[in-house]
Amino acid sequence: MPSELIINTAPWETRIALLENGSVVEFHVERKAERGYVGNIYKGRVVRVLPGMQAAFVEIGLNRTGFIYISDVYDHISEFEALLNKGCCEEENASNEDDSFSSQIAPAFRIEDLLFEGQEILVQVTKEPIGSKGARLTSHISIPGRHLVLMPTIDQVGISHRITDEAERKRLREILEGLRPKGMGFISRTACEGLGAEEIQAEMDFLVQLWTNIQYRAQNMPIPSLVYEDLDITLRAIRDLLSGDVHKVVVDSMDAYNRILVFADTFAPQLKPRIELYENPMPIFDAYGIEVEMARALGEKIWLKSGGYIVIETTEALTVIDVNTGKFVGKRNLEDTILKTNLEAAKEIAYQLRLRNIGGLIVIDFIDMESAVNREDVFNTLKEALKKDKCKTNILKMSEMGLIQMTRKRNREGLQSILCDKCFYCEGKGWLKSKRTICYEIFRKIQREAGYSHAKRIELLVHPKIGELLLKEESHHVEHLERTMEMEIAILPQQDFHLEQYDIRYL
C-alpha cells in the first residue's frame, strides 16, 4: 500500500514517522544527546571470557561492556572452515528486513578456543544496550548500502527473502557472483530488485572501498575506539525505509533536504522526485496528525472502534496484552460480540507491536471463545496482520483459555523506553501506598522510637494529603498516641514532599 515518510528535524532531535493510509505504523527518534550505536564498528578488547555462557565481554568505550556470543566470533574461523566443510551461513537464514546472514559455528569449538582476555578484536554493534544489558556485538561486520550489504568476513551471496520472484532472484545471484571480489560476501537488498549490473557494480565498488578505509583506520587507532559510525537517522531512513511502497518523503529542514538529495544522487537518483521540502508554517507532525497518534501510542489503554479496548502492560521479562469488550454490547449473541471484539483487537495488537516496537516474550489474553473455529479465525487474523511487520515474530496457536504466546525480535529500545522514564515516585510499580497505610506506618514508627528519644514534642513533616488525613479522620488516633506517649504531636504539611515521604523529629 502507498506510504509516506515524514521527517521532522530540530537541533535537539530528529523524528521520523512512516505512514500507511495516513496512520503511523513506525516511529523512530534520534536525540543528539542519546544517539544510538547499532551499525557502529569499534576496535575493542576482550575483558572477560565466559565458557559457561559461550560468550565474552568486550570493552569498546561505552558505559557498559558489550557482549559477543560464540556464533558471532569471526577470529580464526578461516582456519577451521576446512575442517567444518561448510560455509559460515545460509542465505535464507535471514528472516528479518535487515537482510543479514545468520552466522553458524560448529558447537565443537568453544569460546575459549577463539578468544582470550586482552585480545584485540574488531566488532560491530547489532543491538543497542537495553535496560541493564550491554550492547550485543558481532565480529561478522556488515556494511549496508542502498541496494547491497557487504559482508567482508563471509564468502557467500544472499538475496533478500522479500524478493519473491524466482527468476529475479536467480538473475541477481548471477550478477553478484560474477562481480564480487574473491572472499567477500554480498546480500542483495529488497531495493536491488530490477537493478542492472552497472549500478550494482558501482555500489559494490563503493562498499569495498569503504571497508578498505575502515581496516586502515582500525590499524592506526588505540583501544578502545570508534572506527566507523553509521549514518544518522535521517539518511538511515532513506537507505532502509524508502522502498517502492513509499511514494513520498516530506522533510521540514532545508539542511536535511539537501543532505538527502546528495545521498540520493550517490545511491539512487531515481528517488529524487519523491523527496519534498515542507515549508508550511504549521509544524509538520501536527499537519499530518502524528502528534495525536504518538500521544495515543504511549497510553496503557487503547480503545477499539467497536467500543472494546486492549490494555498493554510491559514488565522486564514480558509484555501482557488484555482484550476487553468495554462498551461494546453487540447485536446478536455473546459469542458474536466476543468474536468481533477479538478480531478487531488482533489487528490493533499487530499494529501496536510495530508502532511501539515491543519485543521479547508477549502474552495476549483474548476474550474466551467456546468455538474452536472462532479461535482459529482470531489466530489467523493476528498472524496475517503480523506479516506487515519487518521484525521477526514467532506465534503459537491460541489455547482453549484464549491465550496466545508469541515472540518478537527485540533489536532496539521500545517506544515507551525511548520517550518515557520510570516514575520516580513508584519506581515503575505503578502503585503508591495508600494514605491510610502511610499514616499507620508513621504511628508504628513513633511507638518504636519514642521510648528511646526522651522527647516531649514530636514534629511530623508529611505530604499535605497525609497531614489532612491525620488532622481529620485519624485525629483520634493521634490524640491516643499523645496520651500514651505523653508527648505533644505537631503535624507540619510540606508541599515539596513525595506522598510516601515523611520525617519524624523528636524535640
Q: Which of 114, 125, 115, 132 is nearest to 60 (CA)?
A: 125
Q: Residue 332 has what pLDDT? A: 67
Angle between helices 334-356 and 290-297 (to 10 degrees): 110
- Alpha-carbon span 467 to 495, nearest angstrom: 11
Q: Residue 437 has what pLDDT? A: 93
Mean of per-residue pLDDT scores for the chain: 83
How many Cβ atoms from other residues are within 10 Å of residue 237's Cβ? 24
Q: What is the pLDDT of residues 253-304, one digit of tens each?
A: 999 999 999 888 877 787 888 899 999 889 898 888 888 888 777 778 888 8
State which residues of the chain have pLDDT below 50. Answer: 75-107
Q: Residue 78 has what pLDDT? A: 43
Q: Residue 411 has what pLDDT? A: 67
- Alpha-carbon span 342 to 382, nearest angstrom: 10
- Alpha-carbon span 17 to 29, nearest angstrom: 9
Q: What is the pTM of this model?
A: 0.69
Q: Residue 471 has what pLDDT? A: 93
Q: Residue 1 has what pLDDT? A: 57
Q: Residue 474 has what pLDDT? A: 92
